[in-house]
Structures are given as C-alpha cells and as structure tokens.
Amino acid sequence: MRKLIVISSGILLLALAFVWWMNSRQPQPVELIPTLTNQPEYCLTCHADLPEISASHPVATFGCVSCHGGERLALNADLAHSTMRGGKNPSDLTVVETSCGGGNCHSGNEAENRDHIQRVMTSIQSTYAGAISSIRYTFGAQKDLAAHFGVNAVTDEHTQTGITSLNAFDAAADANPMMQKFGENCLTCHINAVPREGEAFARQTGCAACHSTEKHKLTTAIPYSQCNACHNRGNYDLRTMTFVERTDHPTSRLQSYYQPIAQFTRCEYTLECIDCHTRSEGMGNGDIHANKKDIQYIQCKTCHGTPTELPLTKTLTDPNDVAFTLAFLNPVVNLKLGDTILVTEKGESLWNTRVLSDGTYAMTGKATKQYFTFRPVMGSKCTQTGEDQSSAYCHTCHAVER
C-alpha cells in the first residue's frame, strides 16, 4: 500500500512539473479593460504588436472585441477567433452594422452625420446598380436603363430619387449566358466583393475597402492609389464579358488614369480624388441612385465658378458645422469659426478650401497636405458660357498632354 502511495505521489509530482513546464511556455495573459465596455479581454496577449487603428478608435477605449467580436476571455487562438465578425475585417458589409453601427457610432441619425452605414449600403459603390442595369439593358434583359437590381437588395423609404428599392441581382440565375459571365467576371469592383488577385487590386471589403490603406489602420486621408484598386485598373470587354486588366506600367500620376482617350487638367491628376469629390459622392447620400452620374456632381466650376459667377462660399458660424468634424478627423487645416470656405451646389462643405483676402482660393490636400492656390474663372480670359462648364468643355483649353 505504502509503495502505491509513493508511486502515485511521484507520478503526481511529474505531472505537476509537466504542467508547470507547459504553462511556462504559454504567453502570460495581458488583460485590457476598455473604458467603453468595462469588460476584460485578453486579445493583447497575442496582438500587442498591432498599431493603434486610428486616433478615433484607441484600443484603451474600444478594446478589440467591440469591433472584431471574438471570445474576449479565451487564450486559445482558435477559440478566441471562433466568433470574430468578418474574419480580419469587421467592416465587411455583411457584418458592419454589428461591428461599426450603433447610434453613437456609424449608424446614427442623419442630422448628426452618423448615418455612414445607411449611406454606404445604398450607395453606388455598394449596389453597383448602374453597371448591372447597363449590362442587362445591353443584353436585352431589361427594356430601359432604370435601376432594378443591386448586388444586394436594398430599400429606401424616404427616397429623393424615386427609387425605393433594388432587388438582389443573381447573375447565375439569369438565362442569358452573357449575364452569367458578367456575374462571374465583372462584379469585382463593388465594395462588397472580394477583389481580383494581384497587388494592383489589393484592398479589403466594406468600409476598409477605402479607409484602410495599411494593416490595421483606418484613415480619412485616402490617397488616389487606394481609389485605383478599383478605378483605373482596366476595362470591361463586352464582347467576351471579361475584365481586361491593363498591361501597361504607368510611371507617372497622369498615366495612372486608364481611360486612353480621356483628357485631364493638371488639377485632376495633381490633386487626390478626395480633394474634390465629396463624402456624399463617395459614400452615398442615403438615397438609392441609378448610376454613378446621378450621385457624382462635382465639376470644375464647383471651385472655379464661371465667367459670370463666382463659386459658392460660406462663412462658418456654427461650431457644430460638419466641416469642423471633417477637419477634426483629418487635421490638415486649422479650421476656425469665421473662416470662409467653398461649398458645392448641394451645400456640402469643401472644408479643405479657403477664400483668401485677395479673392483667390486655397486648397490643402487631404492626403498630401500640399497647399494649392487657384483663381476664379470670373475676370479671366475664359469665354465659356455658364452652361458649358462640364470638364469636357474645360479640357478644350486646359487639358494636359499625355
């Protein structure tokens, strides 16, 4: 009996030594209690090397689980990751409402400019409605160019465009083989889609498609190269219904624009896309639109005016003006009450511009921080009429040779 006890104790000691040895090889748990949730999580045990994702989302406040999901108390990687939302990308549109939504975050009300998710869901970037209706019309699947389908079904009860809903487009169910090929080969640009393979197409999905330009980073200072992950990467060939990747290797910013016959002015390629194009153009305005042209409205005259009219301006008198919020999130300018800035015909603040005392204007690049000055058309030698102010007319005189 005594011999049995001694042997049992020996086995127990060996087992304890083994457990101690195994335990010493495990990382020591790193606890974080985010102020937003007040609940401990142990994600930093393995992920302490990740950079802060943005100044607006500090890990000490949000932790990891608020956005990513996952098992906050687990120390085993498989278990910890088992309930994550969207894999590594919680902003994927299939999970974005849970990850990024909420009244205090990105699906609040329009008046507080917190309706980001609602706007993106109905935006052309997400529905791809224009491309779908255009292709369906071209191949006889519908009689006009009206938008009936989106990548996903969406509704808009308060529409200003007359389009109250889009049905989910199912290319595979279409009898027309060209539509099936369209579904297989050409639906890779909308922000729900997994991008095509290749470094030139590298982006994530959802919000991160535009706002994440490097690992575990979110930004509102989006460079044109991020836009180029979808734009300027090639063209559709409607004869074969395939996407034909560009094969050239542009060496300059101007050459990066892929429309071979298109013309551009200097500002169109010197500035970043987001320097001119507004948040409603990029992320939608909450309404369902039939195609890109219905939402994209910025023209040369937005900033330069016409021979007979100066561009629209506004003096900032309300400290809660959204211009201050946007300038806070991307502090390339020190916007103050009393500053006069340019505004679009729809009233969107071009918050990175200033009206200077001599009647000219200044713009600071949102991604580059470059400082530009420019003049109004009024008072110049331009004789173009006010009605003929689309970029095609301006290019007649101001295009840059490519």
Chain residues binding other proteins by CB under 8 A are 2, 5-6, 9-10, 12-13, 16, 19, 29, 33-36, 38-40, 42, 55-58, 60-62, 73, 104-105, 112, 319-320, 324-325, 328
| Cα gap 186→4, rounded to integer Å | 74
Based on CB atoms, which residue is closest to other proteins, 38 or 383? 38
| Cα gap 299→389, rounded to integer Å | 7
Q: How far is the CB of 35 from other proteins (least distance, A)?
A: 4
Measured from the Cβ of residue 265, the count of other Cβ atoms closer than 10 Å reads 16
- Of the candidates 71, 75, 61, 68, the residue with the CA atom closest to the CA atom of residue 33: 61
Task: Give rounded-to-5 percent helix, strand, coil for the chain.
Answer: 35, 10, 55
Q: How far is the CB of 72 from other proteins (least distance, A)?
A: 9
Q: How far is the CB of 326 from other proteins (least distance, A)?
A: 10
Residue 391, both tokens: 């970029």
Based on CB atoms, which residue is closest to other proteins, 36 or 356? 36
Q: How far is the CB of 87 from other proteins (least distance, A)?
A: 25
Q: How far is the CB of 29 from other proteins (least distance, A)?
A: 8
Based on CB atoms, which residue is closest to other proteins, 57 or 292? 57
Per-residue CA distances from 165 to 134, 170, 277, 298 (Å) = 17, 16, 26, 26
Based on CB atoms, which residue is closest to other proteins, 34 or 365? 34
Based on CB atoms, which residue is closest to other proteins, 162 or 319? 319
Based on CB atoms, which residue is closest to other proteins, 52 or 388? 52
- Per the CB < 8 A criterion, the answer to whether 228 and 273 are in contact is no
Measured from the Cβ of residue 52, the count of other Cβ atoms closer than 10 Å reads 12
Task: Please calculate the CA angle 225-333-324 and round it to the nearest 5 degrees.
Answer: 100
Q: How far is the CB of 91 from other proteins (least distance, A)?
A: 17
